[in-house]
Amino acid sequence: MFSCALRYLSSYINKMVPEVVFVLGAPGAGKGTQCSLISKEYGFVHLSAGDLLREERQRPGSEYGEMIEQKIRNGEIVPVEVTCSLLHKAMQKSGQKRFLIDGFPRNKDNLEGWTRVMSDKTTLLFVLFFECSRDLCTERCLGRGAAGSGRSDDNLDSLQKRFNTYLNDTMPIVEHYEQQGLVRKINAEVAPEKVFEDVKKAFDACGLNQLTN
């Protein structure tokens, strides 16, 4: 009787633990586009680490604004204390329990910081990894810049730096999760709706259901 109650309680607590999908891929691979589609169809809250940092940069009185701008322009990665606290706050504020964390963790510092603060508070379901060639990604980001993205890092100089950071710092994180069997690789070189077909397979295979409205 007691053990049954205990099991019920632990399953109840488990259901309360927020579930997280990390979304990684080169700059311009299409993380944001796919996250919007996933969020609509599966009811996950889309949290882009880059967007949260850009918002914090704009926040009047932010003590991190200048540091964030400099890092973003140089394609470098903001210290995890800042990013992780923005993510944590956004998760709490949403009152929801399923999150797509887009563009994070991007390096060892990010991974260690998240593990320290958040791994006990969340369940990582899997890591979506969008594969796309450097040439195509560069073309997309430059196109986005020319079309008025307003981003201070959608230019050739910043893009070269972002790519170096991606190859040197982010790929080892993808490999780390790959060794744990958590990476779901998606070909991101085709049209968004085609990419989304594969994304859906990853979600469906995890037993996650599409919203029914």
Torsion, CA 7, CA 9, CA 10, CA 11, rounded to 10 = 80
> By three-state DSSP, how is residue 3 classified?
helix
Residue among 31 and 46 whose Cβ is closer to ligand UDP: 31
Q: Report the amino acid identity of residue 57.
A: R
Written as one string, the DSSP assignment of 97-147 is SEEEEET---SHHHHHHHHHHTTTT-EEEEEEEEE--HHHHHHHHHHHHHT
Task: Tell whether residue 159 is a contact of ligand UDP (CB under 6 A).
Answer: no
Comparing CA positions, the residue from 103, 117, 120 lying closest to residue 169 is 103
Q: Spell out the residues 6+ positions from residue 113 whose beta carbon is closer than 8 angstroms to its own.
A: 80, 81, 83, 84, 105
> By three-state DSSP, how is residue 171 classified?
helix
x/- mask, ligand UDP, residues 3-42, rule CB under 6 A, reads ------------------------xx--xx----------
Residue among 29 and 84 whose Cβ is closer to Mg ion: 29
Stretch of residues binding Mg ion (CB under 5 A), selected from 29-37, 131-139, 140-148, 167-175: 29-37
Answer for which of 18, 32, 43, 65 binds Mg ion (CB under 5 A) is 32
Answer for which of 47, 56, 57, 83 binds ligand UDP (CB under 6 A) is 83
Residue among 87 and 183 whose Cβ is closer to ligand UDP: 87
Task: Tell whether residue 36 is a contact of Mg ion (CB under 5 A).
Answer: no
x/- mask, ligand UDP, residues 50-79, rule CB under 6 A, reads x--x-----------------xx--xxxx-
- The pair phi, psi for residue 181, each rounded to 5°, is 70, 25
Q: Minimal CB distance to Mg ion: which residue?
A: 32
Q: Report the amino acid identity of residue 128.
A: L
Minimum distance between the CB of residue 7 and ligand UDP, rounded to whole angstroms? 37
Give me the residues that bind Mg ion (CB under 5 A), please. 32
Give me the residues that bind ligand UDP (CB under 6 A), please. 27-28, 31-32, 48-50, 53, 71-72, 75-78, 83, 103-104, 106, 110, 153, 162
